[in-house]
Amino acid sequence: MTETAAQLLPDLINAALECIDERVETVTRNKHGLYTEEDAESIQRERQIIERQIEQLGRLLQAAQAIASMRAPSVEQILRRRGFGFEADRIANLVRIVDALDKERQP
């Protein structure tokens, strides 16, 4: 059975969150006195940034899946005509990445 990028995303997200959680714990425990209060604040900000990026990735993936399921080449053109060129580029790139990942995972 082939896993799609959408199926792999939760595992990737969990791994990223576990990694940052370990870093947060290490810095906040400060077992060896190596970290300052600024370090603790910085790592918390970093975690918040990662959480926002995860949310954004989820939204982009949903949009990419919606566009991919439409199979309508005019969707990108509509986005561009309405002034969403940047978003159209990102979604189109994400669709290409998802398609490439799916092809790589096929036997």
Residue 80 falls inside a structural domain: yes
Task: List, for residues 30-84, the tens digit of each pLDDT value.
Answer: 888 899 999 999 999 999 999 999 999 888 888 877 777 766 555 777 888 899 9
Residue 12 falls inside a structural domain: yes
Residue 65 falls inside a structural domain: yes
- For 78-97, give one letter per residue: b (16+ CB within 10 A) or e: ebeeeeeeeebeebbebbee
Q: Could you list the residue range(s) of the whole structural domain that residue 92 is in?
A: 5-102
Tell me what pLDDT residue 98 has.
Answer: 85
How many domains, in total, are found in the chain? Answer: 1
Residue 20 falls inside a structural domain: yes
Report the predicted TM-score, pTM, of the whole model to 2 decimal places. Answer: 0.57
Residue 9 falls inside a structural domain: yes
Round to whole Å and give the CA distance between 19 and 42: 15
Residue 107 falls inside a structural domain: no
